[in-house]
Amino acid sequence: MEKTFREMAEELVGQMTVDELATQLKYDSPAIPRLGIPAYNWWNEVLHGVARAGTATVFPQAIALAAMFDDKFLKEIAETISTEARAKYNAQSADEDRDIYKGLTVWSPNVNIFRDPRWGRGHETYGEDPYLTSRLGVSFIKGLQGDGKYLKTAACAKHFAVHSGPEAIRHSFNAVATKKDMYETYLPAFKAAVQEANVETVMGAYNRTNGEPCCGSKTLLVDILKKEWGFDGHIVSDCWAIRDFHTNHMVTSSAAESAALALKNGCDLNCGNTYLHLMVALQEGLITEDDLRTAAIRLFTTRFKLGLFADDCEYDAIGYEANDTVENRAMAQEAGRKSMVMLKNDGILPLDKSKLKSIGVIGPTADSKIVLEGNYNGTASEYITNLEGIREAVGPDVRIYYSEGCHLYKNRVQELALPNDRISEAKTVARHSDVVILCLGLDSTIEGEEGDTGNSFAAGDKNSLFLPESQQELLKAVVEIGKPTVVVINAGSALDVSYADEHCNAIIDSWYSGGPGGRALADLLFGKCSPSAKLPVTFYYDRNLPDFEDYSMKNRTYRYMEDEALYPFGFGLSYTTFKYDDFTVADAGDGVTCEVTVTNTGSYDADEVVQVYVANNIKEKVANGKNASYEAVIDVNNQPRYSLCGFTRVNLKAGESKKVTVPVAALAFETVLEDGSRATLAGEYTLFIGGQQPDARSAALMKQECLTQSVQRA
């Protein structure tokens, strides 16, 4: 009988000395020549393309991919990324290049919840909703890992688990979250990654959660991840997070104690150098040889699953020519088109270039390559900036005037000792133009990971939701000229663009749009395709935000917020209009199946994102005698207003109707109790279906109400 991967790992690890075992638990594992084991660096990144290892296809940033609301296409993108990872690995390892960012253990996706719009790393996530994040995370992981005999790559769900800023204090911060918030919001995407996608790796977070450092948390790593969910892959620390145990969290007093705490609670692999002290921990009796051997077995099981010691791995034949292909770059462009959200349009879009003699392209993100990349990115072989995409689309018949307008933010102006001197030029450009395309926003030098940005004043987070002051001045100056103005936002998070909403003709959120992002933008601006993306985050007004350090979900995200949004989660305009009819709901096992007829009532062929939300009507159900036993464990005032529970994309030609089916799982009807357990309360539930969430603001912006159906659960 053929041995299992674990049995092969046990046999190989069984031949290692104790000293050799300890060396294999660090991310930069050295070779053991006597056992035929080559060196292996576990650290690689593929958040939206193979990152930090030279040329690769650069897809739009993760938050943009989330805006597609397209789990099937996201899986195809992940399959393409994993092919490129294999192509690069095969070529590099053939040359014995086993350096960082060149392995097959890929530390993506980031399935943390983007609970606060100020968080700098939010653009690495799939947004604020646990259901959307779960569906996209599962698809991305399945695409990365493949369905062959061997893993194509080994995906990693990170950062487990309650982690979303602030960046400045992440190495010492204690995130306090109730069990209800954990099981209702922070944990579902990780559970889906483990139980549905069979993710191979889970990475801990820097912070503490409820007092325990995440990378050594018995509650998270042992009780929940392994015992409750049955995870049997390997666990890796975030980079240098274990060092924080004794230097910042102060829960241990030495590196040896920190290493022991992490290892004893199941952290197999150290990204960092604290596991250099494992032998000291062994000598001090803090760990045993069995602890070392168990972790090594889990790690080598992954290496065997990847076929790294096999001669029949189906992915070994992938050649370097599979990297950065024309087809892959076209896929990135398609992702860009599907991910850009039209937030406003008074009818100016799409632009008719036959009626234009001149276009003014203005702004600090107009000709920026950085805004195409986001962070955790590779290097594209071709970049198409917004300016280049527009120029390419209109050809020689339309005059393009260009001005940077201002620097990205005033701190940079001050550091370089330059005046904000381009506004006059921008005004001149606007006066000479039939229409202005004003490109504003942020980039990864402003929002991102602590230590990776030039944003030292906020460690990668945002202090405000407004555009940087220099850009606000530019926006107002251009508006005062009085020309038709389309605002294009490149950013990875929600911004308060209420001034532009009030004074400009159209707004497109282009995110960090990938290598060919400018070409994708031009496709939308000039009507080659219709915008179809939806917001995966709420766009708030810059007021009354909860304390950044408060991890309670009260007044956060569309499910719990009490204030009106500037643009709601799930919102996004099109060049056409859609009508919903004949909404029916049928039982389907434990869940239900929703059917609705969607008609494209406009003149453009377009995609529509059909969204289903559920409201639990908790107050009525708790008042019902059937649910009396739950009254003591339910706070009726601490419940989601409603939650996304299904979505699908449908393509409709102008005038076409289609019957669309959206399954809703039984999980959607469960209530998370105060102790974190789940129950299905008897009574009536309301299902909503439409092209947006069922709130008044969405209805007003979309000029459309959701259809509703009542569902009884016993």
Residues that are catalytic? 238, 447
Of 515, 480, 516, 518, which Cα lies nearest the Cα of 499? 480
3-state SS class at 327: helix
Strand partners, 37: 32
3-state SS class at 359: strand
Please give the angle made by the CA atoms of 178, 182 and 186, to the nearest 5 degrees: 140
Between β-strands 506-509 and 707-713, what pairing exists: parallel, antiparallel or unpaired? unpaired
668 contacts 688 by C-beta, under 8 angstroms = no
The structure tokens listed for 99 are 């350096």
Strand partners, 609: 649
Greatest Cα-to-Cα distance within the chain, rounded to the nearest angstrom? 79
267 contacts 212 by C-beta, under 8 angstroms = no
Q: How far apart are CA 74 and CA 140, in angstroms?
A: 6
Of 656, 653, 649, 662, which Cα lies nearest the Cα of 689? 662
Q: How far apart are CA 51 and CA 604, in angstroms?
A: 37
Q: How far apart are CA 414 and CA 406, in angstroms?
A: 12
624 contacts 682 by C-beta, under 8 angstroms = yes
Burial 596-622 (b: 16+ CB within 10 A, else e): bebbbebebbbbbbbbbbbbbbbeebb
Instruction: Give the phi and the psi of residue 529 in degrees, each rounded to 5.
Output: -150, 165
According to DSSP, residue 563 is labeled S
Q: How far apart are CA 560 and CA 215, in angstroms?
A: 29
560 contacts 150 by C-beta, under 8 angstroms = no
The helix-helix angle for 255-264 and 289-305 (nearest 10°) equals: 60
Instruction: Give the phi and the psi of residue 327 in degrees, each rounded to 5.
Output: -65, -40
Q: How far apart are CA 110 and CA 106, in angstroms?
A: 11
Strand partners, 344: 507
Of 53, 51, 27, which Cα lies nearest the Cα of 41? 27
Between β-strands 28-29 and 40-41, what pairing exists: parallel, antiparallel or unpaired? antiparallel
N-terminal to C-terminal alpha carbon distance within the chain: 49
According to DSSP, residue 387 is labeled H
Of 475, 474, 472, which Cα lies nearest the Cα of 464? 472
User: How many other β-carbons are positioned within 10 Å of the β-carbon of residue 528?
Assistant: 13
Residues 6+ apart with CB under 8 A from 316: 90, 307
Q: How far apart are CA 595 and CA 578, in angstroms?
A: 16
